[in-house]
Amino acid sequence: MNSRFQRITPFLWFNDNAEEAAHFYVSVFENSRILSSTRYGKEAARASGQREGLIMTIAFELDGQKLTALNGGPSFSFTPAVSLVVNCHSQDEVNHYWNQLSSGGDPAAQRCGWLKDRFGLSWQIVPTQLIDYLSQPDPAKAQKAMQAMLKMKKIDLAVLQEAAEA
């Protein structure tokens, strides 16, 4: 059991499908689990406009990162101004997370490794090698890698490498 104290926890606002989202995210990432949940009682439901018995908050862990989801109602929705980055070590990992998280999402919001899932949450599926290609000492090669990335939806490491080495 990890005894490290996580001081900062992302808190995600959903209308009324926080439980569905948490279970979906836990199914996508290894070493993930639901930690706890609270439900709207009569008074909280009345005050919030949510229905009694609905999950109010659900805490979960994705590969060691704790998050909490709230069924807060329709007042707020996600924007790409905040996204979750998934660092990947291989093209297989990029493919896995991209395919899982983009399924049912917004295809128009997919570019340069960014995607919007079916709940409206933005993710960046990033191979760790991307930063190496974009920050290499030769500015011409870094620019070629950047130009290649800007044409992609899902990041393709082979295409990036070819552009960076051209």
Q: Look up the CATH superfamily of 8-77.
A: 2,3-Dihydroxybiphenyl 1,2-Dioxygenase, domain 1 (3.10.180.10)
pLDDT tens digits, one per residue of 3-46? 678 999 999 999 999 999 999 999 999 999 999 999 999 999 99
Predicted pLDDT at 5: 87
What CATH number belongs to 78-166?
A: 3.10.180.10
144 and 165 Cβ atoms separated by less than 8 Å:
no
pTM greater than 0.75: yes
- What is the spatial distance between Cα 128 and Cα 100, in angstroms, rounded to a whole number? 19
CA atoms of 66 and 45, how far apart (whole Å): 26
Is the per-residue pLDDT at 1 higher than 70? no
pLDDT digits (tens, 9 = 90+) for 58-105: 999 999 999 999 999 999 999 999 999 999 999 999 999 999 999 999
* pLDDT number for residue 19: 98
Q: Please work out, in degrees rounded to the nearest 5, the angle formed at the alpha carbon of residue 126 by the alpha carbons of 122 and 129.
A: 165
For 49, the token pair is 């406009």
Check residue 2 and give its pLDDT.
Answer: 57
Calculate the average pLDDT of the chain. 95
Instruction: Assess whether pLDDT exceeds 60 at residue 116.
Output: yes
- Closest by CA to 101, choosing from 15, 24, 10, is 24
Report the alpha-carbon distance of residue 12 to residue 107 in Å, rounded. 22
List every span in the chain annotated with CATH 3.10.180.10. 8-77, 78-166
